[in-house]
Structures are given as structure tokens and as C-alpha cells.
Homo-oligomer: A and B are copies of this chain.
């Protein structure tokens, strides 16, 4: 979570800057805690004590825990979108390889944090029954945004002949995010990378299938 901290060198922070820094530090700590343990288990006190801000000053920065949570979702969404843009947007590399680059980076990230941190959006999605209802539409919107980035990458793979012409890139991108969130959840549970590797290998194999868009829905609908 490298969110920029505004501080001018060689000069003590002005009142406003100090406030902004504290606010950003609270958001950073909140994001870290939510990727680890989700929303319900995270108390405002824990966020404040992690940042070293005295109890009671939270409401100086945020109107409620709900508003704070909404800002954490937005902050994480922006951070993660940049990450996706960095890995998937690098046109010097073959498109399927770029997807592999993203997964490898995510794998390193989870390893670096001892597999304690997962995906903030996946965590909150799982807890949705206990969360403010306004979060639901936002979490779905964030996932669809990430999905659009993967879809674009797969479309480039198709244009470059890495993927067969008849592949449904929207469907594949949806499948990717469904499974990837499952892999992150499982890696966190098992505290190791094997589930990420398992999903990554299976997904790349799926990209090699001749016609995955075939209508197999009857299999799951008729029982």
C-alpha cells in the first residue's frame, strides 16, 4: 500500500498537511486491517492505536465507521486499479504473459505479508450480510472494473493471435475474477502460495482450450 504522503521536505508540516497525513495514515492502516481481517472484526480503536492517534479523534476525520469503510474501498480500488494497469497495460510483453505477471506480483505480495493479507474486496464481499447495504453495489462495481481490465488484456491476446478468434473474453475475464478471489481466500487459509499457482495454471490451460464458449449451461441447470 504505497499511497503517497504529502510532506514538504525541510519544513515542518503545516496544520492542514498534518491533518491530511493523519487522515492518510488512518486510511492506510484501515486498508491493511481490512485486507487481513475484514470489516466486522476491525474496530476503530485498533485503527487509531495502530496509527498512534488518540482515541476519540476518529470523528474529526470521518463521519462514521460506514463512511470510513466506503473510503477504504475506494482507496483500495484505486490502488489496485493502478497495479492492474501497470501489469496488464505493458504492451511490450505478450498479453497472456502480462496476466501471468500480475498473478506473480500478487503472489509475491501475499508471500511478503506472510499470507495474512488477502483481497479487501473479497473479504468485504464475504461479509456483505453484515455490512452497510450501500457497499454491495460499490464492491460489484470495483470487481467489474478489474474484470474490464483483464478482458481488454485478453482481447489484445486474441488480436495478437495468442488466443483463438472465437474466445469470449468477457466470459473468461469474469471466470478469472471469480476463481482468483477463491484462490486468494484459499491461499490465506492455507498460508501458502499453492492455491494461487493451482488456479493460475488451470486458468492459463483454459486459455488454450479450442472452444470454451460452448453452451454447457444445461449441465448445471437441469440437474
- B-binding residues in A (CB < 8 A): 36-38, 40-41, 96-97, 100-101, 103-105, 107-108, 116, 118, 122-123, 125-130, 136, 139-140, 143, 171-172, 174-175, 177-183, 185-186, 188-191, 195-202, 204-206, 208-209, 211-217, 219-223
A169 to chain B, nearest CB (A): 13
Interface of A: prevailing SS:
helix
A41 contacts which chain B residues (CB < 8 A)? 40, 127, 129-130
B178 to A199, Cβ gap below 8 A? Answer: yes
A130 to chain B, nearest CB (A): 4
A43 to chain B, nearest CB (A): 11
A178 contacts which chain B residues (CB < 8 A)? 179, 182-183, 186, 195, 198-199
A220 to B201, Cβ gap below 8 A? Answer: yes
Q: A104-B222, A189-B140 are in contact. Are A129 and B205 (CB under 8 A)?
A: no
Report the Cα distance A108→B221, complex, angstroms. Answer: 9
A201 to B217, Cβ gap below 8 A? Answer: yes
Report the Cα distance A128→B219, complex, angstroms. Answer: 34
Report the Cα distance A202→B142, complex, angstroms. Answer: 22
Which of B123, B182, B200, B208 meets A220, CB within 8 Å?
A: B200
